[in-house]
Amino acid sequence: MKVPILLPNIFNHPFTYESDQALETGDYVLVPFGKSKITGVVWDDFEKKNNKNFKIKKIIKKLEVPRLKKSTIKFLNWFSEYNIIPKGMALKLMLLSGNAIEKLSNSDLQKFEFIKKNNSFELSEEQKNSLKKMNEINEKFRVHVLQGTTGSGKTMVYFEALKDRIIKGFQGLILLPEIGLTGQFESKFIEFFGFQPAVWHSGITKKNKEIIWSGIVNGEIKVVIGARSSLFLPFKNLGLIIVDEEHDQSYKQDEGVTYNARDMAISRASFENIPINLITAVPSIETFENIKKGKYSSSKIEKRFKNASLPEYEIINLNKTKLDKQSWLSKEIIEKVKFHLNRKDQILFFLNRRGFSPHVLCNKCFNSYTCPNCSINLVYHKNKNNLLCHYCGFKGSLNRDCVKDGKCENIFSGPGVERISEEVKKNFPNKKIEIFSSDTMNKKDSSIKLEKIINNEIQILIGTQLISKGFHFPNLNCIVVVDIDLTSQGHDLRGAEKNLQLYHQLSGRAGRTGKPAVVYFQTYSNNPKMILDITNKNPEIFLEKELELRKMNKLPPFQRFISLILTGENEDKLEKEAFKFKDFLQGKIIGKILGPVSAPIFRLKKKYRVRFLIRGPKSMNMQNSVANIVPNYKFPSGIKLSVDVDPINFN
């Protein structure tokens, strides 16, 4: 019999093979392809419009793996169409390095065994009401948004909802935006449920991935806690998806296969016909609009755990206080911090910039240290004593010959967290100080550091955006935002929304155990309105205004954007090709074509970049028109096109 086999590669169609045994849609098979053997899946449709006469090869064998569910195959087909990527690449996301793992021994999976535990967590009335609303429809597809002040106990509510599904024999998936969150979260999970979840992200070993993949496909693992990629695991009996911090921009995969994991999670829940819960302190604009339209149900927890109050806000006007040379902390702030330290409060200095200084230049020749591969400045990391490109990973040295004479005399312009750390150490030499950023918290000792922070063994933290994401620090009662003006600059369409979410999340780290807490904002701005807007206890006032602005200007979520990026090593050739490409697309695709323009980061990883933006109605017709027309254009060698549906990043 002839069977269609989809292979995990850049093909948008299955290949036809022959089989001696009866196979069904979803079966995993081993097939010859070229000179190698490759794992494929029996697909739901044969390749279309292929008039060439190929010799049909025989399937080598059927693999002993439970077949991929038809609902999951439909999801992958839709995923491919929506994100304009080949079906084979969608399948590749579900396989493990292109392979399916046959059943492993039970001993490998024993640690994940489900144990029913009678827990003693008492929910508040608000939490009980939210759970009741969340469970109103807990069998079929629906989207429920649980919105709650940071520190209000949202996690306990969705743990209860998940417990109900697990007892009924289903599997559960909890998506988190950052790998760094999984450790502390896993401990919270074990404390509540009494058994170990499977943790899935890029940092786990190949052996562990094989064990987890096999345990999921055979239904032996009940709960997965994971980053974006865990969404594509081949669950045998998935019964509930939870997307924690649903607003977080980290759910967007920007490299390789581009997709938004939150949106794709909603679609997967729809195809599997199961409920999905979105959890947030401040919903994304898209989610907020869907709640308003009645498309999503929602519930709220207004009170924090143990009735802890939210922090107060105080603006430190830097126009009224002169900063010392090479200083970024005002005398007023230092006094405030001393007051909090005397109260045994933990302190956080927040600055969303890694390293020591974002810009280094020579005092004699005025040349900046820029990346040779990208059109951006190198960041100086004093701890490692090197200059680093945060985009391509290039490392450089400060030791540079000056074009004028001798060696360059370096000036460090602007602060990063390392520089703030130095200044804090000068002011508080007897305090234990720790930097909390992706440079310091992805190491093996990060769990030890977290424990020290929780136990108040570290009095002062200097942190980037990573610290705002879901960590629980019981003693943190003073936050200093070193430079609020920094995050309010730029031309990001979602800038205001991101700031609202960031500072609500950040302030939610403080005052969680009932002690009074304060967030201090240092600013040169004479207009405090922006700070008052983003710190308003009711973020919906801001979201309503933002929605009106978006609607008026025909921006997402009222229209769809598709970003097309052309890259090439020859700048002139790329520019000419971009205009030819626009002429080719004009009038053929649905939507208005904006561009071509040079990307804000014009050169990245040695390639020049030109951007187009297609904007149009929110329907699959737009993607289909791009998918049908673009492949007919033949780009010259050296020029590559990448497509990003619903872009979040406009660099």
**CATH number of residue 601's parent domain:** 3.30.70.600
Give yes or no: residues 137 and 234 share one domain. Answer: yes
Query: What is the reported pLDDT for 529?
Result: 76
Residue 427 has a pLDDT of: 96
pLDDT in tens, 358-387: 999 999 999 999 999 999 999 999 999 999
Question: What average pLDDT does the segment 33-57 reach?
Answer: 85
Of 493, 520, 547, the position where a domain reaches its end is 547
What average pLDDT does the structure give for the chain?
91
* Pair 514, 641 in one domain: no
| Token code pair at residue 449 | 């550091």
Q: Are residues 543 and 595 in the same domain?
A: no
pLDDT at 158: 96
The pLDDT value recorded for residue 488 is 62
Which residue in the block uniquely carries the two structure tokens 């033949």? 634
Instruction: Please indicate, yes or no, whether residues 34 and 125 belong to a single structural domain of this protein.
Output: no
Identify whether residues 216 and 324 lie together within a single domain.
no
Query: DSSP 3-state helix, strand, coil percentages of the chain (rounded to 5)?
Result: 35, 25, 45
Tokens 């055979």, located at residue: 218
What's the pLDDT band for 442 if we cut at 50, 70, 90? Answer: low
Residue 52 lies in a domain: yes
Give the residue-averaged pLDDT of 633-637: 95
- pTM for the full predicted model: 0.92
Confidence of residue 138 (pLDDT cuts 50, 70, 90): confident
461 & 483 share domain: yes
From the number of C-beta atoms within 10 Å of its C-beta (0-12, 13-18, 19+), residue 398 rates as middle
* 235 and 325 fall within a common domain: no
Based on the fold, state whether residues 457 and 339 are members of the same structural domain.
yes
Q: Tell me the pLDDT band of 49, cut-offs 50, 70 and 90.
A: low
The neighbouring-strand residues paired with 592 are 615
Q: What percent of the chain has pLDDT over 90?
A: 70
**Can you tell me the distance from the alpha carbon of 611 to that of 599, in angstroms, rounded to the nearest whole number?**
6
Q: Is the dihedral of CA 126, 132, 137, 139 positive or negative?
A: positive
Q: HSE-up of 321 (CA within 13 Å, CB side)?
A: 16
Within a domain: 404: no
Q: What is the pLDDT of residue 301?
A: 92
Q: Is 284 inside any structural domain?
A: yes
State how beta strands 259-260 and 252-253 pair. Answer: antiparallel
Residue 340, pLDDT above cutoff 60: yes
Q: Is the confidence at residue 106, as pLDDT, over 80? A: no
Looking at the structure, tell me whether residues 167 and 278 fall in a common domain: yes
Local confidence band at 451 (pLDDT 50, 70, 90 cut-offs): confident
What pLDDT, on the 0 to 100 scale, is given for residue 386?
94
Counting DSSP H helices and E strands in the chain, the numbers are: 19, 29
- 314 and 325 part of one domain: yes
Q: What burial class does residue 85 get, using C-beta atoms within 10 Å of its C-beta: 0-12 exposed, 13-18 middle, 19+ buried?
A: buried
Q: Is the pLDDT of residue 511 over 90?
A: no
| Whether residue 314 sits in one domain with residue 296 | no
Between 39 and 320, the higher pLDDT residue: 39
Task: Give the domain range for residue 206.
Answer: 106-305
CATH code, domain carrying 459: 3.40.50.300
What is the per-residue pLDDT for 8?
A: 97
Q: Do the domain assignments include residue 444?
A: yes
Number of domains in the chain: 4
Same domain, 114 and 31: no
Query: Within a domain: residue 111?
Result: yes
Q: For residue 282, what pLDDT is reported?
A: 92
3-state secondary structure of 470: coil
Is residue 353 a contact partner of residue 412, using CB atoms and an 8 Å limit? no
Pairing of strands 607-616, 592-604: antiparallel
pLDDT for res 478 = 94
pLDDT band, residue 17 (cuts 50/70/90): very high
Is 444 a residue whose pLDDT tops 80?
Answer: no
Q: pLDDT-based confidence at 120, cuts 50/70/90?
A: low
Q: Is residue 569 part of a domain?
A: yes
pLDDT at 636: 95
pLDDT for the residue 491: 57
> Model confidence over 553-568: pLDDT tens digits?
999 999 999 999 999 9
